Chains A and B, each alone.
Chain A
Amino acid sequence: MQVNGEFKPLIVAFCCNWCSYAGADLAGNNRLNYPAEVKIIRVPCSCRVNPMFILRAFQRGADGVILCGCHPGDCHYTSGNYYTRRRMALLFSMLDYLGIEKERTRVEWVSAAEGAKFAATMNDFVEKVTALGENKRLEDLRCKK
């Protein structure tokens, strides 16, 4: 999205309810700034994120999608994040093949105590996606207004 001639990426962040969403809340509690381009969608577990959601986001014009879950071994549902890790490894390599650069997709483990990590991760991710510019590969023109 261009705002006053400056490219502002659109970032969708899926956060698991138990660790990463709480980590994002902690970043808020500690007033740790990160770009407003990041919009968070709460899911019960990172393994709830269907690859369909990520494809949909890119189709609708997202420039980057980040998925945050509990650290391996700490999943509230025991093993959900392991599924996430495998599924996303596959999906992201397929997306890379389709021309969605690897830097536009990311899985990050952020615990409920890692507010600082959440903010730092988002700052870094937005910076990387901004450097890549607009995502035009998957964008479905029919979705454009």
Chain B
Amino acid sequence: MQRIGVFVCHCGTNIAGTIDVKAVAEALKNEPGVVFSTDYQYMCSQAGQDIIKNAIAEHKLTGIVVCSCSPRMHENTFRKTAAAAGLNSYMVEIANIREQCSWVHKEMPVGTEKAIILGKAAVAKVNLNAPLTPGESPVTKRALVIGGGIAGIQTALDIADAGFPVDIVETKPTIGGKMAQLDKTFPTLDCAACILTPKMVEVAQHENIRIFSYSEVSEIKGFVGNFDVTIKRRARYVKEDLCTGCGACTEKCPQKKVPNEFNLGMDNRRAIYIPFAQAVPKVATIDADYCTMLKTGKCGVCSKVCTAGAIDYQAKDEFVEEKYGAIVAATGFNPISMDKFDEYAYSQSKDVITSLEFERLTNAAGPTAGKLLRPSDGEHPHTIVFVQCVGSRCAACAEKGKEYCSKICCMYTAKHAMLTRDKYPDTDVYVFYIDVRTPGKAFDEFYRRAVEEYGVHYIKGMVGKVSPEGNKLKVQASDLIAGKQLHIDADLVVLAAAIEPDKSARPLATMLTASMDTNDFFTEAHPKLRPVESPTAGVFLSGTCQGPKDIPETVSQAGAAASKVIGLLAKDKLTGNPCVAHSDENMCNGCSTCGNVCPYGAITYEDKEFRMPDRTTKMRRIAVVNEAVCQGCGCCTVACMSGAMDLKGFMNKQIMAEVDAICK
């Protein structure tokens, strides 16, 4: 028989405000096995934990129940408390009477009654708990960063500087991500390339970093500390080790009409290309969709001009298998498609562009060499209208846009408006906004400078329609403050498109078994206290794959993710989850059903000799669970027809006891 202690937490008034905690402690006193029951203001505090430790010693407790917040919050805390008092940490059960009781029920009698029932269920379970010892597994001291934008770059550099090898997998031919496409960065107006490219070079030269560019992750197996990852290196038809990046091939390639994705299709590149001058690795790539040689077998110009002999038309996709201890998702974002926003005439006029396209138009390395010219006729625009929140904060039009605020648009539009007025003072700049949101260091000052010093016309109100007429764009909008309709003849309309997670994030999350929210942003383990970790152990989040962020935030989150990875890789051994499946060999008949449903292949079968009652021996096939591989889902326990398989920590009889306690 267990000797159980019950500890009811007030959590200030969080629990005690809706639940009569004394009554709960009192009611649970009479439950089977309970020898001690008390309540305290904050069980998780040092004083609260001391109460638990003292009670364990004084009453020789063999199990404890803490009625408090969610086990996702403090289960570990109380397990450590128990362990410190010499009790096995798996003899602890939590009754969640805060998140699932006091916070969702308003009336004291109702809440108290439910809290008592939840407490009884936990007592019933802990009565059947057995001490568990976690196994240990080694840690592969290598990290994988998926995505080579500023988030991935910073994470990789920080991990590599701590002395651990890191691999970056990037789908594009070069690292750099969205930041490489930007012109200036707010609020300091640093040139993006000037602060990004040194970091890219540092990555390329770092002895601990390998870059797999033009590659993607195709399979992930394993678990924290021991991930087995298959990386698909797409054929770039250029030998990376031989190519010097001289660019001779990209000048001579006769296929000149390939839309240049780096400039968002606003100009063309060749079929063999280097995305931009500072690309890392600076290696050419052949676009198989456009290359005449690869399509028809007739051309071969690039091969002829390549003095390094780097061109290889026979190249095939290669698969690299590597082991990692930790994986960082840094898959970034994309602006949403403007297809559904026809009111802004994006598809009808070349002079309606997105902010990222505007960024390329003002970039010295962009299609116009940094001169602000209309894409349609190359004329200088005299009136520019910026439209904010295109697809952001779209609660009423969720099928078109996003419900959330994209966070960066207010600031980059202020930057665009300011830079335009600075370079071309003869240009009228209008910004239509719902709200201007500028929380951040020196952000509001920056926005005010755009209005006060640079004379940008900020108008509260949304643009209703943009219609191309002749070489003008007729903009109809409302001015909410003046309470009137506005008609502006604009030369250029710039849409601040909402940002969304990159399309590769969803399949990656599936491979990682990491959870996502309804917008396909990765979910963090705790929104406040564990913002850079995924709930899946060993998976970390860096940058905008977790939510909209500007560059300073992305870099700080990237560093935070790196520090978590370093903390993991610095360990030699990881303690596993002891709540794994276990087969009772006396009941198992070796039917293989459990092995067939196991998602991890953790169950194998072996022949074992059993002594029979008549003193003969008999060989029988039985299931054996590999505890290091089993993740403890419990699928096999339900599939097992003979009832031999059970899950430690969540045993059939424990869950049944909980059901009984609740239904009593």
Complex interface: chain A residues within 8 A of B118 (CB): 39
- Bound-state CA distance A45–B647 (Å) is 11
A interface residues (Cβ-Cβ under 8 A, vs B): 10, 12, 18-19, 21-22, 24-25, 27-29, 31-34, 36, 39-45, 47-53, 56-57, 60-62, 70, 73-80, 83, 87, 111-114, 119, 143, 145
Inter-subunit contact A77/B631 (CB<8 Å): yes
Complex interface: chain B residues within 8 A of A60 (CB): 659-660, 663-664
- Identify which of B96, B516, B659, B660 gathers the most chain A CB atoms within 10 Å of its CB: B659
Inter-subunit contact B517/A45 (CB<8 Å): no
Contact of A49 among B536, B638, B639 (CB under 8 A): B638
Inter-subunit contact A40/B635 (CB<8 Å): no
Size category of the binding interface on chain B: 35 or more
B213: interface (CB < 8 Å): no
CB distance from A62 to the nearest CB of B (A): 5
Contact of A43 among B117, B634, B664 (CB under 8 A): B634
Inter-subunit contact B634/A44 (CB<8 Å): yes
Complex interface: chain B residues within 8 A of A39 (CB): 114, 117-118, 121, 662
- Bound-state CA distance A14–B71 (Å) is 15
Contact of A50 among B510, B516, B632, B652 (CB under 8 A): B652
- Identify which of B70, B104, B515, B535 gathers the most chain A CB atoms within 10 Å of its CB: B104
10 additional A-B pairs beyond A47-B635, A74-B515, beta carbons within 8 Å, are A10-B662, A18-B515, A21-B70, A32-B104, A40-B96, A43-B655, A48-B647, A57-B662, A83-B638, A114-B518
- Bound-state CA distance A73–B515 (Å) is 10
Looking at the complex, which of B105-113, B257-265, B337-345, B424-432 is the stretch in contact with chain A?
A: B105-113
CB distance from B123 to the nearest CB of A (A): 14
- Given A28-B98, A28-B100, A36-B113: A44 and B579 within 8 A (CB)? yes
A-B CB proximity, top 8 nearest:
A28-B99, A48-B634, A60-B663, A77-B633, A113-B517, A28-B103, A45-B633, A47-B635
CB distance from A3 to the nearest CB of B (A): 10
Inter-subunit contact A56/B659 (CB<8 Å): yes
Inter-subunit contact A33/B652 (CB<8 Å): no
Complex interface: chain B residues within 8 A of A80 (CB): 599, 633-635
Residue of B nearest to A17 (CB): B72
Inter-subunit contact B513/A52 (CB<8 Å): no
B68: interface (CB < 8 Å): no
Complex interface: chain A residues within 8 A of B99 (CB): 24-25, 27-29
B509: interface (CB < 8 Å): yes
CB distance from B592 to the nearest CB of A (A): 16
CB distance from A144 to the nearest CB of B (A): 10
Complex interface: chain A residues within 8 A of B516 (CB): 74, 111, 113
Q: List 12 A-B contacts (CB under 8 A).
A: A21-B72, A29-B99, A43-B634, A48-B647, A57-B663, A78-B599, A80-B635, A83-B597, A83-B638, A111-B516, A113-B518, A145-B664
Complex interface: chain A residues within 8 A of B664 (CB): 60, 145
Inter-subunit contact B635/A45 (CB<8 Å): yes
CB distance from A141 to the nearest CB of B (A): 14
- Bound-state CA distance A45–B110 (Å) is 29
Complex interface: chain A residues within 8 A of B634 (CB): 43-45, 47-48, 80
Inter-subunit contact A25/B517 (CB<8 Å): no
Write out, one digit per residue, whether chain B residues 45-76 have a CB within 8 A of any chain A CB (1) or not (0).
00000000000000000000000001110000
B331: interface (CB < 8 Å): no
B357: interface (CB < 8 Å): no
Complex interface: chain B residues within 8 A of A32 (CB): 104
Inter-subunit contact B517/A111 (CB<8 Å): yes
B170: interface (CB < 8 Å): no
- Bound-state CA distance A36–B517 (Å) is 27
B637: interface (CB < 8 Å): yes
Contact of B635 among A31, A77, A111 (CB under 8 A): A77
B523: interface (CB < 8 Å): yes
CB distance from B480 to the nearest CB of A (A): 30
Inter-subunit contact A12/B663 (CB<8 Å): yes
- Bound-state CA distance A145–B664 (Å) is 8
Write out, one digit per residue, whether chain B residues 636-663 have a CB within 8 A of any chain A CB (1) or not (0).
0111000000010010100110111011
Write out, one digit per residue, whether chain B residues 97-136 have a CB within 8 A of any chain A CB (1) or not (0).
0111101111000110110011001000000000000000
Complex interface: chain B residues within 8 A of A48 (CB): 633-635, 637-638, 647, 650, 655
CB distance from A126 to the nearest CB of B (A): 12
- Bound-state CA distance A50–B639 (Å) is 9
Inter-subunit contact A25/B100 (CB<8 Å): yes
- Given A36-B114, A78-B513: A41 and B535 within 8 A (CB)? no
- Given A39-B114, A48-B633, A57-B663: A34 and B656 within 8 A (CB)? no
CB distance from B14 to the nearest CB of A (A): 10
- Bound-state CA distance A114–B515 (Å) is 12
CB distance from A4 to the nearest CB of B (A): 11
Inter-subunit contact A111/B662 (CB<8 Å): no
Inter-subunit contact A44/B660 (CB<8 Å): no
Contact of B535 among A29, A62, A112 (CB under 8 A): A112
Complex interface: chain A residues within 8 A of B71 (CB): 42
- Bound-state CA distance A107–B523 (Å) is 23
Contact of A53 among B98, B110, B509, B655 (CB under 8 A): B655
CB distance from A39 to the nearest CB of B (A): 5
- Bound-state CA distance A79–B96 (Å) is 27
CB distance from B523 to the nearest CB of A (A): 5
Inter-subunit contact B104/A119 (CB<8 Å): yes
Complex interface: chain A residues within 8 A of B536 (CB): 76
Residue of A nearest to B577 (CB): A44
- Identify which of B98, B510, B655, B656 gathers the most chain A CB atoms within 10 Å of its CB: B655
- Bound-state CA distance A73–B96 (Å) is 28
Residue of B nearest to A33 (CB): B104
Inter-subunit contact B518/A83 (CB<8 Å): no
Inter-subunit contact B98/A12 (CB<8 Å): no
CB distance from A116 to the nearest CB of B (A): 10
Complex interface: chain B residues within 8 A of A79 (CB): 599, 635
CB distance from B141 to the nearest CB of A (A): 25
- Bound-state CA distance A24–B114 (Å) is 15
- Bound-state CA distance A80–B634 (Å) is 9
Complex interface: chain B residues within 8 A of A75 (CB): 513
- Bound-state CA distance A47–B581 (Å) is 13
- Bound-state CA distance A75–B535 (Å) is 12
Inter-subunit contact A77/B513 (CB<8 Å): yes
Complex interface: chain A residues within 8 A of B513 (CB): 74-78
- Bound-state CA distance A57–B96 (Å) is 20
Residue of A nearest to B101 (CB): A36
CB distance from B108 to the nearest CB of A (A): 11
Complex interface: chain B residues within 8 A of A83 (CB): 597, 635, 638-639
Complex interface: chain B residues within 8 A of A34 (CB): 104
CB distance from B31 to the nearest CB of A (A): 15
Contact of A41 among B70, B517, B523, B655 (CB under 8 A): B655
Inter-subunit contact A41/B104 (CB<8 Å): no
CB distance from A49 to the nearest CB of B (A): 7
Complex interface: chain B residues within 8 A of A10 (CB): 662-663
